[in-house]
C-alpha cells in the first residue's frame, strides 16, 4: 500500500501546552487512526518540540535556567499532554537531536550549492514571540505597560522591535512562478480552500527575499551556519526541516517523501505554504502532498492569552470530561475554516447529549436484559422488513414503514460519507452525519416500542428480533466509524456487541447484510459482557 506521513508542527512554546496545540495533534491523530482502519498502507504520525530561537533563549534567562533545561521540562509537558489525550504519535522529534541537526546542516548545504543563499544587510520589525520579521501591513500602534507608544503584531498582539543585521538571505523572490505552478497543478494541496486562495493572493503580492540566519551574538541558542560561526540558522528554517529529519534525510527520506500531510494552524500558514515549499524546491525536493490548515480556539469569544488568564489546559479538560469527551468535543465542534469558541457549558451540553444520552442510551436500551434476555444478536426477518427499491413502496409490506427504510439508506451510505469527509479534512462533518444517524436510530427504536411487543406471539417475536437486529447493526456501524475519534467509547461499544478485533476495519464495512439477502456473521452470536454505562453523563465542574 501507499505510505503516508502525517505531521503536526513541532510546537514552539516556552510554557505548557494549551488546547490549540492539542487540536492540531488530535486532528492528525484522527486522520492517522482512520487511515489505519482503512488499511490503505503504512502510516506514521510525527510531532515534537522546537527548542531553538530567541524566545526560548530569553525565557530561560528570565527563569534563571539554561535553554537546554527549559526545553527538557517543556518537552516532558508536551509528551504528557499528548499521551493523556490518546495521541498515537510514532515519532517525537526535538531540534536538539543530532539526527535533526545533521539534516539541517545538509539542507543548508543544498541551498548553498544551488546558489540560492547570499549575505546581505537586513532590517525590519522583528517579533520575538513569532520569530519573524513583519511588514508594516501586519503591525498596529499600541501603548506598552509604561504607557509609551509601541508597535505590535496584528496577529498575536506581541510587541515588535526594529532590528538591523547582516544575515544570509534566501532568494525567495525567484520562486513565485514555481509556487504558482505547484498550486495550480495541485488544487487540493492546501485545504480548506479559503487558505489555498489566501496563499495565491500572497503570491500576487511582493515576495521579498527571506532572511534565513541571525547574528550569533544576538542568537546563540540554535544551529550555527556551516562554515560561518558568526551566524545562527533562522529558527523557522531549522524547525521546518524536522519533517525530513524524522524520515532519515538525507539518506532514506525518499521512501516516504513527498507523501506527507502537514496539519498546521492558520497562524503558521505562510511558513508552511510559501517558505517551506520554496525551500524544498530550492533543495531539489518536491513540496509536501498536502497542507491541512485549521483555525484557532477562542474562550467565550476572547483570544486565549496568559494576560487574560483564560488559557485552557488540556490536562484539566481530560480530568473534567474524560479523554473521549475532550476528543469528541474538539473534533465535533472544531471547524477548520473558522475560529471556534470554547466554554464549559458548551462541552457538557454536546457530550452529554450525543455520547451519553443518544449513543449510550441506545446501546443500553437495545441490549438490556428486559428486552434481550438471551443476550444475543437477534435474527432478522425479511418478512417483517422486506427489501424495497423505493421507500415509498413500503406501505402494506411487512412491518417496516417509510422512515425505517430512510434510516437503512442513511446508515448504508454513512461509511462512504464519513470517508469522504475525512479525506476532505472535514472531520466535524463526519461526526455530524454520525450524530444525525444516531438520532434517526433512536427514533426508529422509539417509534416501534419493542418493549410493548408480546413475546408469546411468534409474529411479534420475529418483529421484536428484527427491530433489535437493525438497531444493533446501526450501533456496530457507529462504533466502527467512531474509533478514530473516541477510541475508548468505540471499543466499549463494539466489545458489548461481540465485534472481534479483526471485524473492526473500515474497508468492506457491511451493514444489514440480511436485508440484501446475504448472511450476517453476527446473527445469533452471543453478545459480549455488559460493559456498563457507555459514557457517564458529565456534571458541572
> What does the pLDDT look like over 165-179, one tens digit per residue?
889 999 999 999 999
- Here the cell at position 365 is 436500551
Rounded Cα gap, residues 91 and 129, in angstroms: 26
Sheet with 302-303: list strands edge to edge: 302-303, 297-299, 340-342
| Best CA proximity match to 326, nearest among 497, 81, 127 | 81
Rounded Cα gap, residues 375 and 530, in angstroms: 9
At residue 479, the pLDDT reads 98
Q: Which is higher by pLDDT, 134 or 38?
A: 38
| Best CA proximity match to 95, nearest among 114, 110, 116, 74 | 74
Rounded Cα gap, residues 179 and 280, in angstroms: 11
Question: What's the half-sphere exposure (Cβ side, CA atoms, 13 Å) at 309?
Answer: 0
Q: How confident is the model at residue 304 (pLDDT cuts 50, 70, 90)?
A: confident
| Best CA proximity match to 87, nearest among 13, 16, 7 | 7
CA dihedral 485, 491, 493, 497 (to 10 degrees): 140
At residue 53, the pLDDT reads 62
Q: Where are the beta strands (DSSP E) in 295-448?
A: 297-299, 302-303, 340-342
Q: How confident is the model at residue 323 (pLDDT cuts 50, 70, 90)?
A: very high
- Here the cell at position 70 is 527549559
Does position 396 have pLDDT exceeding 60, yes or no?
A: no
What is the distance of C-alpha 450 from the center of its chain? 40
- Angstrom CA distances, 486 to 93, 330, 340, stand at 26, 11, 20
Name the range with the highest mean pLDDT among 122-136, 142-156, 243-257. Answer: 243-257
pLDDT, average across residues 198-218 = 91
At residue 269, the pLDDT reads 96
Does position 220 have pLDDT exceeding 80, yes or no?
A: no
The DSSP code for 313 is: P
At residue 393, the pLDDT reads 61
Q: Are 6 and 33 in contact (CB under 8 A)?
A: no
Which residues are within 8 A (CB) of 83 and not within 5 positions of it... i.e. 6 or more apart?
none
Strand-pair partners of 265:
294
Compute the mean pLDDT over every residue in the chain, rounded to the nearest whole number: 91
Rounded Cα gap, residues 398 and 247, in angstroms: 59
Q: Are 407 and 444 in contact (CB under 8 A)?
A: yes
List the domains of the chain with CATH numbers: 4-342 (3.40.50.620), 346-526 (1.10.730.10)
- Residue 292: in which H helix or E strand, if any? strand 290-294
**111-115, 156-160, 229-233: range with lowest mean pLDDT:** 156-160
The pLDDT tens digits of the residues spanning 503-525 come to 999 987 999 999 999 999 999 99
Rounded Cα gap, residues 239 and 96, in angstroms: 10
Count of Cβ atoms closer than 10 Å to residue 107 Cβ: 24
- Here the cell at position 241 is 526541516
**160-164, 199-203, 414-418: range with lowest mean pLDDT:** 160-164
At residue 212, the pLDDT reads 94
At residue 75, the pLDDT reads 83
Q: Which is higher by pLDDT, 112 or 455?
A: 112
Q: How confident is the model at residue 221 (pLDDT cuts 50, 70, 90)?
A: confident
- Angstrom CA distances, 220 to 52, 80, 237, stand at 9, 29, 15
**231-240, 264-273, 361-370, 386-395: range with lowest mean pLDDT:** 386-395
3-state secondary structure of 513: helix
At residue 460, the pLDDT reads 93
Peptide bond into 192 cis (omega under 30): yes
At residue 519, the pLDDT reads 94
Which residues are within 8 A (CB) of 164 and not within 5 positions of it... i.e. 6 or more apart?
121, 122, 123
At residue 59, the pLDDT reads 76
Rounded Cα gap, residues 515 and 507, in angstroms: 20
How would DSSP label each residue in 240-278? HTHHHHTTTTTTSGGGTTT-EEEEEEGGGHHIIIIIHHH
Question: What's the half-sphere exposure (Cβ side, CA atoms, 13 Å) at 50?
Answer: 23
- Residue 44: in which H helix or E strand, if any? strand 43-49
Does position 13 have pLDDT exceeding 70, yes or no?
A: no
At residue 394, the pLDDT reads 56
Q: Are 243 and 262 in contact (CB under 8 A)?
A: yes
Does position 360 have pLDDT exceeding 70, yes or no?
A: yes
Q: How confident is the model at residue 300 (pLDDT cuts 50, 70, 90)?
A: confident
Q: Are 527 and 494 in contact (CB under 8 A)?
A: no
Rounded Cα gap, residues 469 and 475, in angstroms: 10
Does position 252 have pLDDT exceeding 80, yes or no?
A: yes
Strand pairing report for 290-294 and 190-191 = parallel
At residue 507, the pLDDT reads 83
- What predicted TM-score, i.e. pTM, was given to this entire model? 0.92
Q: Are 391 and 402 in contact (CB under 8 A)?
A: yes
At residue 219, the pLDDT reads 76
Q: How confident is the model at residue 502 (pLDDT cuts 50, 70, 90)?
A: very high
Rounded Cα gap, residues 212 and 110, in angstroms: 14
Amino acid at each position: 500500500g501507499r505510505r503516508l506521513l502525517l505531521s503536526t508542527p513541532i510546537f514552539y512554546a516556552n510554557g505548557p501546552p494549551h488546547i490549540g496545540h492539542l487540536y492540531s495533534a488530535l486532528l492528525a491523530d484522527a486522520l492517522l487512526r482512520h487511515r489505519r482502519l482503512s488499511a490503505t498502507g503504512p502510516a506514521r504520525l510525527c510531532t515534537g518540540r522546537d527548542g531553538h530561537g530567541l524566545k526560548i533563549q530569553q525565557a530561560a534567562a528570565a527563569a534563571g535556567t539554561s535553554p537546554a533545561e527549559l526545553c527538557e521540562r517543556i518537552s516532558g509537558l508536551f509528551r504528557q499532554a499528548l499521551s493523556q489525550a490518546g495521541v498515537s504519535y510514532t515519532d517525537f522529534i526535538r531540534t536538539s537531536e543530532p539526527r535533526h541537526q545533521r539534516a539541517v546542516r545538509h539542507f543548508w548545504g543544498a541551498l548553498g550549492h544551488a546558489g540560492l543563499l547570499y549575505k546581505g544587510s537586513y532590517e525590519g520589525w522583528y517579533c520575538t514571540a513569532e520569530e519573524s520579521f513583519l511588514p508594516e501591513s501586519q503591525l498596529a500602534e499600541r501603548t506598552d505597560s509604561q504607557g509609551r507608544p509601541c508597535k505590535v503584531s496584528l496577529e498575536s498582539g506581541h510587541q515588535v522591535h526594529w532590528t538591523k543585521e547582516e544575515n544570509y538571505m534566501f532568494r525567495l523572490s525567484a520562486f513565485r512562478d514555481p509556487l504558482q505552478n505547484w498550486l495550480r497543478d495541485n488544487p487540493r494541496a492546501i485545504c480548506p480552500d479559503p487558505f489555498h486562495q489566501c496563499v495565491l493572493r500572497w503570491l500576487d503580492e511582493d515576495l521579498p527575499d527571506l532572511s534565513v540566519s541571525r547574528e550569533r551574538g544576538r542568537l546563540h541558542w540554535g544551529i550555527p551556519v556551516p562554515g560561518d560561526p558568526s551566524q545562527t540558522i533562522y529558527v523557522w528554517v531549522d524547525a521546518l526541516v524536522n519533517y525530513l529529519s524524522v524520515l532519515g534525510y538525507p539518506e532514506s527520506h525518499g521512501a516516504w517523501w513527498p507523501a506527507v500531510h502537514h496539519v498546521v494552524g492558520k497562524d503558521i500558514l505562510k511558513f508552511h505554504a510559501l517558505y517551506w515549499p520554496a525551500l524544498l524546491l530550492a533543495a531539489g525536493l518536491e513540496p509536501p502532498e498536502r497542507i491541512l490548515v485549521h483555525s484557532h480556539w477562542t474562550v467565550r469569544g476572547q483570544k486565549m492569552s496568559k494576560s487574560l488568564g483564560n488559557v485552557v489546559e488540556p490536562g484539566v479538560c481530560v480530568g473534567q470530561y474524560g479523554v473521549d469527551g475532550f476528543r469528541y468535543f474538539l473534533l465535533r465542534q472544531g471547524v477548520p475554516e473558522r475560529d471556534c469558541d470554547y466554554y464549559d457549558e458548551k462541552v457538557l451540553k454536546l457530550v452529554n447529549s450525543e455520547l451519553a444520552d443518544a449513543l449510550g442510551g441506545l446501546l443500553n436500551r437495545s441490549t438490556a436484559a428486559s428486552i434481550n434476555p438471551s443476550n444475543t444478536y437477534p435474527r432478522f426477518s425479511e418478512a417483517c422488513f422486506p427489501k424495497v427499491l423505493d421507500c415509498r413502496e413500503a406501505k402494506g409490506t411487512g412491518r417496516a414503514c417509510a422512515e425505517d427504510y430512510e434510516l437503512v439508506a442513511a446508515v448504508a451510505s454513512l461509511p462512504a460519507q464519513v470517508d469522504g469527509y475525512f479525506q476532505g479534512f472535514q472531520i466535524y462533518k463526519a461526526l455530524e452525519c454520525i450524530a444525525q444517524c444516531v438520532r434517526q436510530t433512536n427514533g426508529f427504536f422509539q417509534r416501534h416500542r419493542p418493549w410493548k411487543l408480546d413475546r408469546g406471539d411468534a409474529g411479534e417475536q420475529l418483529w421484536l428480533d428484527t427491530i433489535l437486529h437493525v438497531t444493533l447493526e446501526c450501533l456496530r456501524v457507529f462504533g466502527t466509524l467512531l474509533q478514530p475519534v473516541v477510541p475508548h467509547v468505540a471499543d466499549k461499544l463494539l466489545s458489548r456487541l461481540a465485534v472481534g478485533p479483526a471485524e473492526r476495519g473500515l474497508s468492506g464495512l457491511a451493514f444489514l447484510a440480511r436485508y440484501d439477502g446475504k448472511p450476517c456473521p453476527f446473527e445469533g452470536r452471543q453478545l459480549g459482557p455488559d460493559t456498563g454505562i457507555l459514557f457517564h453523563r458529565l456534571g458541572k465542574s
